[in-house]
Structures are given as C-alpha cells and as structure tokens.
Amino acid sequence: MTLNRRTFGKLVLGAGVIAPYAFSRTALAQPKPGDELVVGIWGGAQERIVKEHVEKALVAKYGCKVSYVLGGTPERRARAYAERGRPSFDVLYLNIFESRQAVKDGVTQAPTAAVPQFANLHEAAKLGGYGVALNPCTIVYDKRKAAKPITSWKDIWNPEWKGRIAWPSYPGAQGTAGLLMAAKIFGGSESNIGVGFDKIKELKPFAAIQGSQDQLFQMFDQGVADLSVEFGSFTRKYAETRNPNIEIVNPVEGQAITMNVACITVGTQNQKLAEEWINLHLSEPCMLAYAAETYYSPTVKGLNIPDALKSKLVLGDDVGKLVDFDWDLVIKSQAAWSSRFNREIAG
Amino acid sequence: MAETRPPATIAGGGPGQRGCTGRLIGPLLAAPVTLWLLLAFAAPLVVVVLLSLHAAPDPFGALFQSPSLAQFAMLAEDRFYLKLVGETLALAAGVTLLTVLLGYPLALWLTRLPLRWRSLGFAVILIPLLTNVVVRSLGIVLLLAPDGLINQVLVALGLQPWRGMLYTHGAVAIALAQVFMPFMVLALYDVLQGTSPRVHEAAQSLGASPMTRLLVVDLPLSLPGLRAGIIIVFLMASTAYVSATLLGGKKVLTVGMIVWQEALQNLNGPLASALSLVLTGTSTAFAVAIFFVARQLMPWKESRPGSVLSLPRWLMVTLDLVGPVLGKLLLACALLLLLLPLVLVCIQSFNDVPQATVAGFRAFTLEWYRRVLFGGAYGAAFVTSFQLACASAVVAIALALPAAFALARHRFRGLTALGAFWTLPLSLPHIAIGVGMLRLLQVYTALPPFFGLMAVHVVLILPFAIALLQTSVEQLDKAQEEAAASLGAGPASRLALITLPGLAPGLAAACIMSFLLSFGEVTVTSFLTTARLTTLPVRIYSEAAFSLEPTVHAVSALLIVATMLALAALNRLVQLDRLYAR
C-alpha cells in the first residue's frame, strides 16, 4: 500500500485530533467500584493516619479498594525506577529531593491543578509532586549540657560540644540538611560544598554518626551523645514523651527545609483515584491528624490549626523562612558527596 | 589405584555404587538443587555480573552493554575500598572466632541437658532468631552504654568504667556473634551429641581428664560441625549491614553498608554489583580454604594415617585447672547474650512508651498485644509469613537432603565446584540479589506472587540446609544400614527405618532453621513484596523506617512462645537426641 500526500495529510490531521484524547484518556477515565489504588508509604503512624483520613473517604466515594506497599523510601524508590512506565504503584511517597529527581527521570508526574488542593499549597510544596508534610531539620540538643542556649547553626562549633555530637549520616534527609547548612553558614553553598565538609571535619571526633531518629533518641537516652541535626517534629514528640531535657532549636539562620511528597506514577491506570487520594491527604482533617500525632507541619495554607498546636509547627511566614536549596544540584552531586562523606567523616 | 580415586568415595562408597547406576547416583542427587538454583538464583546473579561490567551507572540503561572493567579497576585502585573489604573480612573473622568461643560451650551444654529440658534449651538458643534486630541491638546498647550493665559491674568491683564501648568494631562483633550463635550451635549440636558415650568411656579409662577428652576426642570429632558453622557464620558476617549500622553508628563501615548505599540511595547498580562480587570472591576463597584445612585435620575421614597429638604435661595441668572455669564463664556469657533480648522483650512488650527503642519501663499496657492480635494488618502479615516459611522450609529440605547425601556419600568429579555454587547465595550480599531481582521484575511479576517469593526464599535457605544436613549425613552410622541390608531390608525400608530416624535431629534442626530464616527474611523480600503479599518482617521494617513502635516486641514475644510450644510438640514426636533415636 502506498500513501499519497492527501491520504498522509488526512492521517496526520486525524492523529492530531485523536492525540489529545489519547493523552488525557487516563485522566478522564472515571473510577469504577472495585478499582484498586496501590499506595507505597511508610508503616506505623503514617499508615494509620492515611487509612483513617484518606482511605475511608475515598472508598466511601468511589467504592474502590486501597492496597498498601509498605517499606522504606530507598526500596520504594528503587522499585519505582525499575518499573518506570509500567508501575505497580499508583501513588508513592518520597522525600523532597528524590521526588524532584523522579519527575525529571520520568518516573512520577509533575503536580497539576487536577488536584483541587494544589491551589492552596505553599509554593515550596508544588515542586516534584504534592508536598504533604513540612518536616524541617534543625539542631537538637540536651540543654543540661549547654553552657548557654543554642541560637545559631554556628553554635555547633563551640568547643563544649567536642566529642558529644552524633552527626547525621549522609545521604539521608538529616545528613543532607546538616551538610548543606554547614556549607551555607560558613560562606559555601551547594556548588561549593567543600566548605561544609571541611567545617564538619573540624567537629571530629564524633560520639557517633546517627542513621535514624530512633537511633539518635537511643543515643540521647543512654547519654552517648548530646547534640545532633534531626527532624524537629518527631524530636519534639520524643522530648515531650521521653526526654524533657532535649531542646529543639529555631536557629537565626532558619531551619533546613525537608518535606514528604506524594507522587503519582507515570503510567498509572488510576489517575483520577490517585488525584483524589492526594486531594484527601491535603484535606484539613488529614493535615490536622498529622500535625497532632507527629507534629508534621501542613503544606496547605489557611487551615484552622488549634492554638495548642501552633507553637509546635512551622506555619505562615515561618514557612518562607525555611532554608531551601538547589535540589537538582544536590541530587546530581549525591554519589560524589556520599563517597566523600564515607572517606572524610564516617568510619 | 586407590590413591587416584576420590577419597570420599572410599570412605562413603556403599553397596551398588560401582556400577553405571552407582556412578549416576551422585549427579542425580545433586540435580534438583542445582536446577532450582539455576532457575531462581542464576538469573539475578547473571544480572549482578552484567551490571558490574557497566562502565557507568544508568538506572534505565540496557542490561547488555559492551563489557567494561571500569568498576573493578576503580575498586582495585582506590585504597578506601581495599581497606573496606579488608576491614569487613577482619570483622567477619572476629565474629566467627567469638561465635566459636561462645557457641562451643553452649553446644556442649545443650547436649548434656536432660532430654525433657532440651526443647527449652533449643528455644533459648533460637531467641536471637526470634527477636527483631531492634530489640537485640537495644540489649547490646544497654550492655555497653556508658552507664550500662558492664560499666555498672566494673564500678561495683571498684574498677574504672570504660565509656567508649558502643559504636566500635567490638560492639558490632558482639551483636553479630549474638545473632549468628544459633547457626554455630546447631551445626555443632548434631555432631557433639552423636559421639558415642563409649568413646568417652574409652578416653576416661585411659586416664584422660574431662579437659583432655574435650581437646583430643570431642574437638576433633566435632570438626565437621565446626567447619560448617565457621563457613556459615563467616559468610553471613561478611555481608551483614543492619546490626553494623545500628551498633557501629557509621564509625564502623562494612561492605554491606556501602553496597546498600550505592544500590539504593545512589542508584549506582554497577558499583554495588562490582563491590558485592569482590566480597563474594574473597569470602568464598576463605570458605574453600577452611574446607580444605578441615579436611587436612580429619585424616580418618579419608582413611589416612593421622599424627599422634601429645600435649606437654604442664599444659595439660594448666588446662585442667583453667579449662572448667573458663568454660563456665564462656557459657555464662553466651547465655547472658542469648537471654538479654528475651528479658527485654518481656518487659518492652508491656511497656507504655511511644517508641520501641525506649529503655526504661514506664507503665504497664496491653495495647501492643491488642494491636498485633486484633489490629488486623499484623494478623494477615503473620499468616503470609507463616505459610511462606512453611512452604519454603519444606521445599528447601526436600532439595537439600539429596544434595547433602551427594556431598557426604556420593562424590563425583565437579561436585566441589557445584558445592561452592550452592553456597553462593550465602556469600553474595542479599542486597545485590535484590538489585538483580529488580531488573528481572517483569519476569518475576509474571509468576504467582507467593510462588515467586517462595522460590527466592528457598534459594536463600539452601546453603544453610545443605551445610547442616551434610554434617548429619556424615554422622550416620553406615554399619546400621549395612546390617539392615544384610537382613534383607530393601533401599526404601532402609531409608524409612534406619536413615531417616537417624537423621531426625539433624532434620529437625535444619527444618527449624529454614523456617526461621524464611520467616525473618526482609532484605530481598522488601524489594519483591506486593500490595497483596506483605510479610511480617517487611511490615515491621516499614515502620522502622519512620519510628518503630513497641508492637514489634509483642510480635517477638508471641513468636518466642509459639516456638517454645512448637519445640515441645516436636520433642514429643521426634527425639532431638540421636543416641536415643538409634
């Protein structure tokens, strides 16, 4: 069969008319009862909160089923990368820098206004997916061991902390925050990270390098270390329930931004359900449940936060004061930085 | 002529082996396990090899690329990686030594326990495998902390406390020795209790003190078990990374940790694969060396004349004085290490605190048990794990038993190499197997999820099951089988009435171990888990990534109780003592 110019033109025109339909077909497909949404998320409190405040409402509205793939971020991310374009997840939760890279790599979708709550998100929460919880990293320390209260990131370098610091492991949200802040406050930056490494080296010897908040809390409990860089949110919970001597600093230079991000996979067969899921996650009841149970700060503007919670969260203008970074450069440099961290800081 | 024949054939060759069918028995016995590993393990292994030959990482790049040795060249030139591999192997060697020192007295203690207490003894040995790594490391932290148990004892004795014990190689070694002790003890148990009391009586009648008997009779006779234990523990310790992270506080770096970091956090599959293969190569070389050294130390196995061992008198006198005290001290240390997590689990599972890592007791609560038993999600995950572990253990034993017979009795050319292949799943870091599986996810997801997970679990269990069963088969008394044959018993009745009952203790140990290994597997499973098939450890691990709640202790407590009941029942059905079984 041969194509003359006219037939070819008609075909091109036809394809042009059909293409947008094909492109948006999954987005327009309405959920049917019995459809299954697969969500990749952390276990424990997070799983409990979304089951209560997101799943119930979604199932009530569409008669769908929600299944969870539970695990840590690294495994979830590795799996999503291996399944690019033919995902077994519809929604997956990542950290701030991983989520932006995943969009660039074509693994997850950039956020759109198809999720109604998108309009109410803080600007920082509109990149690389839908930011669902602000969870900044800051200095946490045992106030009994401090000559005077810590107010600046530079205070970490006071000689009184020598040998008493549990520096956070890199890569990882806390370690990334620690490294970037060390560089920034001493005149370096993401593109001049050597300053950060050199300053962190000055802090050696460390009491230990901590790899997770649970491990750090154990170090505080046992008197092994007295200072670290950690998520302020859950450390506050720890201080309130287990160790009132732990202080969470709001440094003059600001806390380092960290965020949990909900991402919709490229190639999902449940686009509408996934968008509804995220919209429900960004709803007031769910944001407030997270705030009350884990002290995660909402990413949505204009919520009615109970007064008792206000002082424990990052809200309003304070969100703008969080220190943000060039995450593209950070993720691009991760392999080189982690190699350097292993050689110069850890071990 | 006899010298050119494979030695083990002389020692183990039975009736009917010399014909054509006889020669085929070995390969036939070795075939099922080889086939399983080729189908379920060779594919991810090939992926790991191919990835290691990539010049640069590209998570979306084609698997087949023009091969490059860039990763290996980089590893060879970089002192950091050479030091890392060296330190990891040294740590593994230290852990193995510690496990032998603590495990041997423990295995002796277990064989001397009255039979009715033996199932309880087994349960104690298995505690580390029944408890989560978090509670185990909490125990070690409480032991070694600046104000911990050891320092409190030191202070009470008027000595200077040692505040820097945590987050050192020593702390990691103790933690790993604790969790690998069951493997050493089980490998030793069967050979130790298989030694006839007549041998002991003979030694005693010749004037040997208990210490002399231990050194010149029990120790040499237990070499097959010791060899299996050492190889298993060394290979496991060389790939460990979770305990190393929790108790090394990144002041201790291991190959496993860097493989995990490169594979998952940096998405650098080629470097992770190359590093895994370097570790596998070096640790396998060690395992082969141990194998040959042990063979040299057991000349009687190959009908070679052995040298007479004579110790100077002053040494024997010293050993007789020091030995029993030292033995009791080591046994006490080993039992303390084993029981510490049990005590903690009992306290922590009722502790009303927000996180699992809290040390002090606050208030009593049944909330964690309520969540585990009636929370829904844990129950489903438990059932999945239980079914998976049962199926995996049964299949693994069915495959490992013929392989063990091939290794112990029907050796053929190439079997040593094949045996090394069977051990590979143990020496390749599990995270690398996971990375290999990720690349094969499309093939894998075409399988029914339960079958796919079981296939992988069987692969991971096989090296243990083979090692334990090989030792048991070697211990079988062939004279009994020959006696039965001379009385007219056919092969089937010999198997059912003589061989299998004789293997009962070894089979029981291998079954328990296989079940627990599958039940606790998390590294590879966490890559392969699906929404419909979440195992209990994966569920627990998913919480650890955020913050672990004390439900994990309630799970451990229930698991310990269930294991005790199962062992008590098993003890009624199968005699856990070979001498009684005979």
User: Does residue B422 surpass a pLDDT of 60?
Assistant: yes
Let me know if residue A70 belongs to a domain. Answer: yes
- Determine whether B304 is exposed, middle or buried from the number of CB atoms within 10 Å of its CB (0-12, 13-18, 19+): exposed
Best to test chain A binding among B242, B361, B542, B548 (most A CBs inside 10 Å): B542
What is the per-residue pLDDT for B192?
A: 86
Identify any residues that bridge with A262 across adjacent strands, giving them in sequence order: A93, A130
Let me know if residue A126 belongs to a domain. Answer: yes
Residue A217's nearest CA partner among A192, A193, A240, A187 is A240
What is the per-residue pLDDT for B577?
A: 58
User: Does residue B352 surpass a pLDDT of 60?
Assistant: yes
Residue B377's pLDDT band, with cuts at 50, 70 and 90, is confident
Give pLDDT tens digits for B225-267.
899 899 989 999 999 888 888 888 888 999 999 999 999 889 9
What is the per-residue pLDDT for A263?
A: 97
What is the per-residue pLDDT for A7?
A: 56
Domain that holds residue B195: 27-44+78-581
Residues A164 and A307 in one domain: no
Find, in chain B, the residue whose alpha carbon is nearest to that of A83: B441
Let me know if residue B396 belongs to a domain. Answer: yes
Residue B359's pLDDT band, with cuts at 50, 70 and 90, is low
Contact B355 A214 (CB under 8 A): yes
Give pLDDT tens digits for B300-349.
777 777 776 677 888 888 888 898 899 999 999 999 988 888 888 888 88
Contact B545 A71 (CB under 8 A): yes
Give pLDDT tens digits for A240-279.
988 899 999 999 999 999 999 999 999 999 999 999 999 9
User: Does residue B72 surpass a pLDDT of 60?
Assistant: yes
**CATH code, A233:** 3.40.190.10
> Are B407 and B26 a contacting pair, CB within 8 Å?
no
User: Does residue B378 surpass a pLDDT of 90?
Assistant: no
ipTM higher than threshold 0.95: no
Residues A147 and A212 in one domain: yes
Give pLDDT tens digits for A280-297.
999 999 999 999 999 999
Residue A18's pLDDT band, with cuts at 50, 70 and 90, is very low
> Are A172 and B257 a contacting pair, CB within 8 Å?
no
User: Does residue A25 surpass a pLDDT of 50?
Assistant: no
Specify the 3-state DSSP secondary structure of B433: helix
Let me know if residue A300 belongs to a domain. Answer: yes
Residues A164 and A39 in one domain: no
Residue B518's pLDDT band, with cuts at 50, 70 and 90, is very high
pTM: 0.86
Let me know if residue B17 belongs to a domain. Answer: no
Point out the residue among A44, A217, A221 whose CB comes nearest to the CB of B549: A44
Give pLDDT tens digits for B18-39.
455 667 888 999 999 999 999 8
What is the per-residue pLDDT for A119?
A: 96
Residues A335 and A204 in one domain: yes
Sheet with A246-248, side-by-side order of all strands: A227-231, A137-142, A246-248
Residue B83's pLDDT band, with cuts at 50, 70 and 90, is very high
Q: Where is A177: in which H helix or E strand?
A: helix A173-185
Average the pLDDT over B57-76 and give the result. 91
Contact A77 B549 (CB under 8 A): no
Percent of chain A surpassing pLDDT 90:
72
User: Does residue B545 surpass a pLDDT of 80?
Assistant: no
What is the per-residue pLDDT for A91?
A: 97
Percent of chain B surpassing pLDDT 70:
93
> Are A99 and A128 a contacting pair, CB within 8 Å?
yes
Domain that holds residue A40: 31-134+258-314
What is the per-residue pLDDT for A213?
A: 87
Residues A118 and A160 in one domain: no
What is the per-residue pLDDT for A11?
A: 53
Best to test chain A binding among B353, B547, B551 (most A CBs inside 10 Å): B547
Residues A72 and A190 in one domain: no
Average the pLDDT over B514-536 and give the result. 84
What values do phi and psi take at A38, rounded to 5? -105, 125
Q: How far is CA B478 from CA B1, B24, B38, B500, in A?
A: 24, 20, 32, 13
Q: How many domains does chain B have?
A: 1
Residues A211 and A330 in one domain: yes
Let me know if residue A123 belongs to a domain. Answer: yes
What is the per-residue pLDDT for B3?
A: 36
What is the per-residue pLDDT for B546?
A: 66
Give pLDDT tens digits for A66-92.
999 888 888 899 889 988 988 989 999
Residues A177 and A276 in one domain: no
DSSP-assigned letter for residue B253: -
User: Does residue B15 surpass a pLDDT of 70?
Assistant: no
Let me know if residue A2 belongs to a domain. Answer: no
Residue A27's pLDDT band, with cuts at 50, 70 and 90, is very low
On the CB side of B478, CA atoms within 13 Å amount to 11
Q: Tell me the residues of chain A between 25 and 84 that have a Cβ less than 8 Å away from chain B.
A: 36, 38, 42-47, 67-75, 77-79, 81-84
Give pLDDT tens digits for B86-117.
999 999 999 999 999 999 999 999 988 887 78
Residue B14's pLDDT band, with cuts at 50, 70 and 90, is very low
Q: How many domains does chain A have?
A: 2
Contact A38 B531 (CB under 8 A): yes
Let me know if residue A68 belongs to a domain. Answer: yes
Residue B349's nearest CA partner among B121, B358, B567 is B358
DSSP-assigned letter for residue A134: E
Let me know if residue B138 belongs to a domain. Answer: yes
Residues A108 and A198 in one domain: no
Give pLDDT tens digits for B189-222.
878 887 777 888 888 888 888 888 888 888 888 8
Chain A residues in contact with B445 by the CB 8 A cut-off are 88
User: Does residue A226 surpass a pLDDT of 70?
Assistant: yes
**CATH code, B391:** 1.10.3720.10
Give pLDDT tens digits for B274-298.
999 999 999 888 888 888 888 888 8
The distance of B141 to chain A (nearest Cα, Å) reads 8
Sheet with A36-41, side-by-side order of all strands: A65-70, A36-41, A91-95, A259-264, A130-134
The distance of B89 to chain A (nearest Cα, Å) reads 16
Q: Is the CB of residue A142 less than 8 Å away from at least one CB of chain B?
A: no
Point out the residue among A68, A71, A206 whose CB comes nearest to the CB of B526: A71
What is the per-residue pLDDT for A28?
A: 52
Residue B130's nearest CA partner among B453, B379, B381, B346 is B346
Residue A212's pLDDT band, with cuts at 50, 70 and 90, is confident
Let me know if residue A5 belongs to a domain. Answer: no
Average the pLDDT over B118-147 and give the result. 82
User: Does residue B438 surpass a pLDDT of 80?
Assistant: yes
The distance of B338 to chain A (nearest Cα, Å) reads 21
Let me know if residue A1 belongs to a domain. Answer: no
What's the mean pLDDT when you consider all of chain B? 84
Let me know if residue B6 belongs to a domain. Answer: no
**How far is residue B524's CA from residue B453's CA, in Å, rounded to a whole number?**
9
**How far is residue A98's CA from residue B265's CA, in Å, rounded to a whole number?**
9
What's the mean pLDDT when you consider all of chain A? 90
What is the per-residue pLDDT for B399?
A: 96
What values do phi and psi take at B396, rounded to 5? -60, -40
Residues A86 and A150 in one domain: no
Name the most confidently modeled range: A18-27, A99-108, B530-539: A99-108
Residues A218 and A197 in one domain: yes
What is the per-residue pLDDT for B17?
A: 43
Strands in A143-184 per DSSP E? 166-168
Average the pLDDT over A33-39 and give the result. 93
The distance of A257 to chain B (nearest Cα, Å) reads 18
Residues A45 and A181 in one domain: no
What is the per-residue pLDDT for B18?
A: 47
